[in-house]
């Protein structure tokens, strides 16, 4: 049988494709705004939400979306006060993992799913989860399309944007909510600990290769898609963990982009 003759592989390609495109585009905004560490913290908050949901008998994805969404709104409303506060964000990150461990302590039967949350398991994505990912992805891209232009203006020229009357905090809150949704979707593919693989790696590589924002967003989505699908192919024929394959490709692409960028300059 060929690779795509398996139903679970078809679902994996569809799920990873949806998530990769959304993560690549959102990631460019995240890198431009200098909020990559905050995005990483949201993934750890999501782990606590997922394990809490498992303890309560609710779908882990529901718990993850709920808690990361709330945390994203809070981060966005805090605006500049949370920017560059790596220590505070790092403490929140560690605290979220600690709560996740506490919830696992009281619900040990959730341990197998917890491993999938930490490192991802795209091959186990169900058709129901695929539908949810499609809705989350479409909603995120539509919302980002609506706020994209003012958000970019506020990201590059915050003082001027505020002087012109743009709702900086509201834009920040909406964007961080979209980041939270993207993180929740990405965790289904590469896990909490490897979220940077799809959200930051392709975006950072794209920004080293092209200067225009639109071109960077398009390239980042393409790179993320190629890494996700390439990782699936490698994993199928080698029996290596899929998340590792995707992460390895992301690292190769990023360091390759660094070399190309350095030669150009």
- Residue 59 in any domain: the answer is yes
Coil, strand or helix: which one is 125? coil
253 in Cβ contact with 205 (< 8 Å): yes
Structural domain count, the chain: 1
pLDDT, tens digit (0-9, with 9 covering 90-100), for 43-54: 888 888 888 888
CATH of the domain at 86: 1.10.3470.10
The pLDDT mean for the chain works out to 87
93 in Cβ contact with 44 (< 8 Å): yes
pLDDT at 130: 93
- Residue 26 in any domain: the answer is yes
Residues recorded for the chain: 265
Q: How far apart are CA 95 and CA 99, in angstroms?
A: 6
- Return the structure tokens found at 125: 């994505």
* Prediction pTM value: 0.88
Question: Which among 8, 27, 26, 6 is positioned nearest to 16, based on CA atoms?
Answer: 8
- Give Dmax over CA atoms of the chain in angstroms: 62
pLDDT, tens digit (0-9, with 9 covering 90-100), for 157-172: 988 988 888 998 889 8
- Residue 124 in any domain: the answer is yes
- Residue 251 in any domain: the answer is no
> Of 10 and 42, which is predicted with more confidence?
10
C-alpha pair distances (Å), 125 with each of 13, 142, 240: 10, 24, 18
- Residue 197 in any domain: the answer is no
- Return the structure tokens found at 174: 């909406």
Q: At what angle do helices 127-156 and 60-78 cross, to 10 degrees?
A: 10
- Residue 168 in any domain: the answer is yes
Q: How far apart are CA 145 and CA 12, in angstroms?
A: 26
- Residue 262 in any domain: the answer is no
Q: Which residues have CB under 8 Å from 174's CB, separation 6+?
A: 76, 143, 147, 151
pLDDT, tens digit (0-9, with 9 covering 90-100), for 207-245: 999 989 999 999 999 999 999 999 999 999 998 999 999
Coil, strand or helix: which one is 208? helix
Band of pLDDT at residue 110, cut at 50, 70 and 90: low
pLDDT at 80: 54
- Residue 264 in any domain: the answer is no
Question: Which among 219, 161, 183, 155 is positioned nearest to 67, based on CA atoms?
Answer: 183
In the chain, which ranges are continuous DSSP H helix?
A: 7-32, 36-56, 60-78, 86-106, 111-119, 127-156, 158-163, 168-190, 196-199, 201-209, 213-238, 242-264
Q: Which domain holds residue 158?
A: 3-192
Band of pLDDT at residue 11, cut at 50, 70 and 90: very high
């Amino acid at each position: 049988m060929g690779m795509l003759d398996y139903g679970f592989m078809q679902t994996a390609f569809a799920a990873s494709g949806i998530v990769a495109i959304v993560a690549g585009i959102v990631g460019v905004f995240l890198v431009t705004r200098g909020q990559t560490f905050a995005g990483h913290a949201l993934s750890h908050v999501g782990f606590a939400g997922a394990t809490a949901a498992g303890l309560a008998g609710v779908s882990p994805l529901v718990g993850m979306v709920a808690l990361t969404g709330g945390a994203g709104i809070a981060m966005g409303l805090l605006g500049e006060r949370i920017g560059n506060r790596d220590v505070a964000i790092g403490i929140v990150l560690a605290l979220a993992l600690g709560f996740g461990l506490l919830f696992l302590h009281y619900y040990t039967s959730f341990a197998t799913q917890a491993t999938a949350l930490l490192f991802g398991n795209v091959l186990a994505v169900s058709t129901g989860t695929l539908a949810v990912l499609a809705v989350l992805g479409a909603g995120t891209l539509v919302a980002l399309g609506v706020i994209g232009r003012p958000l970019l203006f506020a990201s590059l020229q915050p003082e001027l944007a505020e002087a012109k009357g743009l709702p900086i905090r509201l834009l920040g809150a909406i964007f961080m909510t979209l980041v939270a949704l993207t993180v929740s979707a990405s965790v289904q593919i590469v896990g909490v600990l490897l979220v940077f693989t799809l959200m930051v790696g392709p975006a950072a590589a794209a920004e080293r290769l092209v200067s225009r924002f639109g071109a960077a967003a398009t390239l980042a989505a393409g790179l993320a898609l190629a890494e996700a699908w390439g990782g699936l192919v490698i994993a199928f024929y080698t029996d290596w963990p899929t998340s590792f394959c995707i992460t390895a490709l992301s690292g190769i692409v990023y360091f390759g982009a660094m070399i190309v960028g350095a030669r150009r300059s």
